């Protein structure tokens, strides 16, 4: 065997898989590490040479009230969106899984909000939740409730933004869950029926446990997405183009604050520190969610 | 949610640089970057015809916000800017703070002495005395008001007769009280920030002094303006509608407020938002509380990145000459800032049927001459208005006390100035 073909056998496989790793290194790993590097400098967009400051950006961040406000906002919006979203998505999937006329039409139907432009949705929802002339308040008044200032009230603004997020993502998640449901063998359901289990019992004891891997996936992806909500709060602000997230940052998310620090304030180092803290928060919460989902779904029924 | 694609796209747009390879035919290629509508298309063709050695590429961005963000990102990156770059008044302070990145137009450009209204010319001067931008258009302030609402509340309603109400801020707020009382609680102005900004721009010193120290806490005039405006909010004079928001637009249609601080370009906004159904209800008068003022307008700059600075400056100087700006005004409604342009018959003859056939060109030319001297704007001045005073006033309109609001304003201003 010639030396050339020995090399071929030994190194060619690496060459074949190289594109992924090169791309990942270029657009995944490098930005990640470079952000960490930038976060240790006082790095101004137009301010000349960056100065090394070590952990100062992180220390400043932890004593920055606005950071804690935005972190709380992010978690609040995340809980208000991801929680209901996954519950509704599973129920919706169960509905879609039953015998419907024109199943494809329904499935495409639930995906429509996802196809629509995010910016258009943002503008429409900001209109619906307008404090003075919005439809939401008119409806509230119609049923005899008080008007809500969706812009000024912190919790109300989070609810409004969460509605926007849920509107867009529930259908998408429902389809993923639906695919998993259809992969569950019919025999198991038949066996359960023979054992005397009704539809609810079958859903709880058969379907849910078998959905576990998919639910873990859905929970993790919506955690990652939910903690990085950006466009919705940006467009929700009454002041066009503003990154403030409301008059007192009442619905500014952490990504929005990061964006404001970097591109409005020009503080690239500080923004990079925010980015890294957000990265760690996402990993931490995703891990916790992973563990919880695994336990919950494993807790009942079939093993 | 799942923001990545959008963010990446935004970064890709920011990072996209202007391709600049000279054309093969030996002509010099000049690029010019503008936003919204400057009315320059026709003029650029005209310039190319008169200068066979020059080819012009016009990069137009739809909105001012993204345009300026890209401008500063490219300034930071050190490449990618056009040879001639437009800068809006609100972002000018950040440009003037970095004179090293721009050419001094008085050094490289043709002679343009006494071309502009003095305050417009002075506004484009950096601290080291270099001229960073040629003035294009301006937004001289007048007062727009709802004739029908004024009459219904027993106030005078003809443009000449309402002038005393707009003589000073005091008379303005006093008339507001009268209006609120007699109209059954209708609002007098659209939002506190709109009034506060106009008042603030009339002060001798802005948010920064000439040494770029923050003056918010030290300058009693700022606090006085704050107190006056927030007191008026407490007396029900504000419609609490954030400027340019959807609800503000709806406010024009439903007649939610009776007056609007009105730069020349606002007439177009009112027409569009109030709609044909409200034609003849709005009027404009050549008076403005506290003298005069300006809101908006732009400048043409030549960044140091330009490879043909001399030719770029010549083009910018030509575009901002009175003859050309009058043409741009007729095309796009950008009100000219050049002394000679303000006496052009095409401008003075202009009337506006929507506002009762008012001679709008003449009216705003008069208002332009009333503007006092240019207030010094330190770096970050625009950000303080946008991210400190405006949101803080909004919190007051949303129920915070005037004192809480002031504290928020001071705190955010300090944070921004850091």
pLDDT, one tens digit per residue, over B13-36 is 444 444 444 555 788 999 999 999
Identify the CATH class of B141-295+353-417.
alpha beta
Q: Which ipTM value was assigned to this complex?
A: 0.85
* Residue of B242, B386, B408 lying closest to A238 (CB–CB): B242
Residue recorded with tokens 């499935």: A107
- What pLDDT sits at residue B23? 54
Write out the two tokens for A78.
């995340």
Identify the CATH class of A57-298.
mainly alpha
CA–chain centroid gap for B253, Å, is 23
Comparing CA positions, the residue from B109, B63, B107 lying closest to residue B86 is: B63
CA–chain centroid gap for B240, Å, is 21
List the beta bridge partners of residue B134: B300
Distance between CA atoms of residues B134 and B374, nearest Å = 15
For chain B, give the secondary structure using H, E and C.
Answer: CCCHHHHHHHHHHHHCCCCCCCCCCCCEEEEEEEECCCCCHHHHHHHHHHCCCEEEEEEEECCHHHHHHHHHHHHHHCCCCCCEEEEEHHHHHHHHCCHHHECCHHHHCCCCCCCECHHHHHHCECCCCCECEEECECCEEEEEEEHHHHHHCCCCCCCCCCHHHHCCHHHHHHHHHHHHHHCCCCECECCHHHHHHHHHHCCCECCECCCCCECCCCCHHHHHHHHHHHHHHHCCCECCCCCCCHHHHHHHHHCCECEEEEECCHHHHHHHHHCHHHCCCEEEECCCCCCCCECCCEEEECECCCCCHHHHHHHHHHHCCHHHHHHHHHHHCCCECECHHHHCHHHHCCCEHHHCCECHHHHHHHHHHHCCCCCECCCCHHHHHHHHHHHHHHHHHCCCCHHHHHHHHHHHHHHHHC
Instruction: State mean pLDDT over B247-265.
Output: 95
Which DSSP string do the residues of A274-296 spell out, in sequence order?
HHHHHHHHHHHHHHHHHHHHHHH
Distance between CA atoms of residues B68 and A282, nearest Å = 32
Along the 303 residues of chain A, how does pLDDT read in single tens digits?
A: 578 888 888 899 999 999 999 999 999 999 999 999 999 999 988 877 899 999 999 999 999 999 999 999 999 999 999 999 999 999 999 999 988 888 889 989 998 998 888 889 988 999 999 999 999 999 999 999 999 999 999 999 999 999 999 999 999 999 999 999 999 999 999 999 999 999 899 998 899 989 988 998 899 899 899 999 999 999 999 988 899 999 999 999 999 999 999 988 889 999 999 999 999 999 999 899 888 887 876 655 444
Residue A2's H or E segment, with its range, is: none
Comparing CA positions, the residue from B249, B108, B234, B237 lying closest to residue B180 is: B237
pLDDT, one tens digit per residue, over B306-330 is 999 999 999 999 999 999 999 999 9
Distance between CA atoms of residues B297 and B139, nearest Å = 6
Note whether A46 contacts B101, CB cutoff 8 Å. yes
HSE-up of residue B42 (Cα within 13 Å, Cβ side): 11
CA–chain centroid gap for B94, Å, is 15
Query: What whole-number percentage of chain B has pLDDT above 90?
Result: 83
Residue recorded with tokens 């409604």: B333
- What pLDDT sits at residue A1? 57
A43 and chain B: CB distance < 8 Å anywhere?
no
Distance between CA atoms of residues B24 and B106, nearest Å = 32
Write out the two tokens for B136.
């294009």
Is the predicted pLDDT of residue B181 greater than 70, yes or no?
Answer: yes
Contacting residues of A for B246, CB less than 8 Å apart = 123, 126-127, 130, 133, 238
* Residue of B98, B241, B399 lying closest to A152 (CB–CB): B399
Note whether B394 contacts A168, CB cutoff 8 Å. no
HSE-up of residue A90 (Cα within 13 Å, Cβ side): 19
Distance between CA atoms of residues A190 and B173, nearest Å = 78
Under the banding of pLDDT at 50, 70 and 90, the label for residue B10 is very low
State the best of A158, A240, A267 to mutate against chain B, taking most chain B CBs within 10 Å: A240
Instruction: State mean pLDDT over B246-259.
Output: 95
A42 and chain B: CB distance < 8 Å anywhere?
no
CA distance to A94, A95, B302, B328, per residue, from A178 (Å): 7, 9, 58, 59
End-to-end CA distance of chain A: 53
Q: What is the DSSP letter of A42?
A: E
Instruction: State mean pLDDT over B198-216.
Output: 92
- What pLDDT sits at residue A24? 94
A250 and chain B: CB distance < 8 Å anywhere?
no
* Residue of A225, A247, A264 lying closest to B2 (CB–CB): A225
* Residue of B4, B65, B408 lying closest to A248 (CB–CB): B408
- What pLDDT sits at residue B19? 42
End-to-end CA distance of chain B: 32
The second-level CATH assignment, the architecture, of B4-139+296-348 is 3-Layer(aba) Sandwich (3.40)
β pairing state of A51-52 and B54-61: unpaired
Q: What is the DSSP letter of A228?
A: T
Distance between CA atoms of residues A18 and A194, nearest Å = 53
CB pairs under 8 A between A and B: 101
Comparing CA positions, the residue from B263, B199, B127, B220 lying closest to residue B393 is: B199
A81-95, B9-23, B49-63, B290-304: segment of lowest average pLDDT: B9-23
Query: Is residue B133 a contact partner of residue B87, using CB atoms and an 8 Å limit?
Result: yes
- Name the CA dihedral angle for A137, A142, A146, A147, rounded to a multiple of 10 degrees: 20
Distance between CA atoms of residues B73 and B92, nearest Å = 15
Q: Where in chain B is the domain with CATH 3.40.190.10?
A: 4-139+296-348, 141-295+353-417
Q: A47 CA to chain B: closest CA distance, Å? A: 8
Across A153-188, b (16+ Cβ under 10 Å) vs e yields: bbebbbbbbbbbbbbbbbbbbbbbbbebbeeeeeee
Mean of the per-residue pLDDT values of chain B: 91
- CB proximity list for A16: less than 8 A, separation 6 or greater: none
Distance between CA atoms of residues A57 and A123, nearest Å = 35
Q: Which residues of B touch A (CB under 8 A)?
A: 1-4, 6-7, 63, 65, 69, 72-73, 75-76, 94, 98, 101, 240-247, 250-251, 254, 256, 383, 386-387, 390-392, 394-395, 398-400, 408, 415-416
- What pLDDT sits at residue B5? 40
Write out the two tokens for B365.
């030319």
A81 and chain B: CB distance < 8 Å anywhere?
yes
A220 and chain B: CB distance < 8 Å anywhere?
no
Note whether B244 contacts A81, CB cutoff 8 Å. no
* Long-range contacts of B275-281, Cβ-Cβ distance < 8 Å, separation of 24 or more: B277/B253, B278/B252, B278/B253, B279/B353, B279/B354, B280/B147, B280/B354, B280/B356, B281/B146, B281/B147, B281/B148, B281/B149, B281/B255
């Amino acid at each position: 065997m010639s030396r050339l073909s020995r090399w071929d056998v030994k190194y060619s496989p690496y060459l074949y898989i190289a594109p992924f790793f090169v791309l990942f290194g270029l657009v995944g790993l490098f930005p990640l590490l470079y952000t960490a590097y930038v976060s240790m400098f006082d790095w101004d967009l137009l301010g000349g040479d960056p100065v090394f400051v070590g952990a100062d950006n992180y220390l400043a961040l932890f004593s920055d009230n606005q950071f804690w406000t935005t972190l709380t906002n992010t978690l609040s919006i995340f809980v208000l969106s991801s929680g209901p979203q996954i519950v509704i998505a599973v129920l919706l999937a169960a509905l879609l899984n039953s015998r419907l006329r024109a199943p494809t039409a329904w499935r495409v139907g639930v995906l429509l909000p996802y196809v629509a432009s995010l910016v258009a949705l943002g503008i429409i929802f900001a209109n619906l939740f307008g404090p003075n002339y919005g439809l939401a308040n008119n409806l509230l008044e119609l049923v005899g409730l008080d008007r809500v200032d969706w812009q000024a009230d912190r919790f109300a603004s989070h609810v409004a933004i969460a509605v926007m997020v849920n509107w867009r993502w529930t259908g998408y998640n429902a389809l993923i869950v639906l695919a998993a449901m259809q992969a569950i063998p019919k025999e198991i359901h038949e066996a359960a029926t023979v054992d005397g289990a009704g539809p609810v019992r079958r859903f709880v004891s058969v379907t849910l446990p078998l959905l576990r891997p998919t639910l873990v996936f859905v929970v993790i992806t919506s955690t990652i997405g939910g903690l990085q909500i950006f466009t919705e709060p940006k467009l929700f602000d009454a002041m066009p183009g503003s990154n403030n997230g409301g008059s007192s940052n009442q619905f500014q998310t952490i990504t929005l604050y990061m964006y404001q620090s970097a591109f409005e304030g020009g503080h690239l180092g500080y923004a990079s520190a925010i980015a890294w803290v957000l990265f760690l928060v996402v990993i931490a919460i995703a891990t916790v969610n992973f563990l919880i989902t695994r336990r919950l779904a494993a807790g009942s029924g079939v093993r | 949610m799942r923001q990545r694609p959008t963010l990446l796209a935004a970064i890709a747009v920011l990072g996209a640089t202007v391709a600049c390879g000279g054309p093969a035919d030996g002509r010099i290629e000049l690029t010019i970057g503008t936003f919204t509508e400057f009315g320059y298309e026709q003029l650029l063709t005209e310039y190319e015809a008169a200068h066979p050695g020059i080819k012009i590429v016009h990069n137009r961005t739809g909105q001012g916000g993204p345009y300026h963000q890209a401008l500063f990102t490219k300034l930071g990156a050190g490449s990618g800017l056009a040879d001639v770059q437009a800068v809006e008044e609100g972002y000018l302070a950040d440009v003037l703070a970095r004179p090293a990145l721009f050419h001094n137009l008085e050094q490289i450009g043709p002679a343009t002495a006494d071309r502009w209204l003095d305050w417009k010319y002075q506004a484009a001067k950096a601290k080291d005395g270099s001229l960073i931008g040629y003035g294009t258009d301006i937004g001289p302030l007048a007062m727009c008001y709802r004739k029908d609402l004024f009459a219904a509340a027993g106030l005078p309603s003809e443009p000449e007769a309402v002038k005393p109400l707009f003589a000073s801020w005091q008379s303005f707020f006093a008339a507001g009280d009268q209006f609120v009382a007699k109209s059954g609680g209708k609002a007098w102005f659209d939002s506190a920030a709109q009034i506060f900004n106009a008042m603030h721009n009339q002060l001798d010193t802005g948010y920064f002094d000439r040494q770029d120290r923050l003056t918010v806490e030290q300058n009693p005039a700022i606090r006085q303006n704050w107190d006056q405006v927030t007191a008026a909010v407490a007396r029900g004079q504000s419609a609490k509608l954030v400027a340019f928001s959807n609800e503000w637009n709806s406010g024009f249609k439903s007649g939610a407020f009776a007056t609007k601080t009105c730069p020349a370009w606002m007439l177009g906004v009112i027409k569009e938002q109030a709609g044909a159904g409200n034609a003849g209800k709005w009027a404009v008068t050549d008076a403005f509380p506290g003298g005069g003022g300006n809101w908006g307008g732009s400048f043409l700059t030549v960044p140091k990145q330009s490879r043909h600075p001399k030719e770029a400056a010549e083009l910018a100087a030509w575009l901002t000459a009175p003859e050309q700006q009058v043409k741009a005004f007729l095309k796009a409604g950008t009100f000219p800032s050049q002394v000679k342009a303000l006496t052009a018959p095409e401008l003075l003859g202009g009337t506006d049927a929507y506002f009762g056939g008012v001679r709008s060109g003449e009216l705003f030319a008069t208002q332009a001459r009333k503007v006092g001297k240019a207030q010094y704007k330190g770096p970050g001045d625009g950000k303080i208005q946008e991210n400190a005073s405006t949101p803080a006033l909004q919190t007051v309109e949303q129920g915070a006390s005037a004192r809480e609001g002031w504290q928020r304003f001071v705190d955010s201003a300090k944070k921004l100035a850091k």
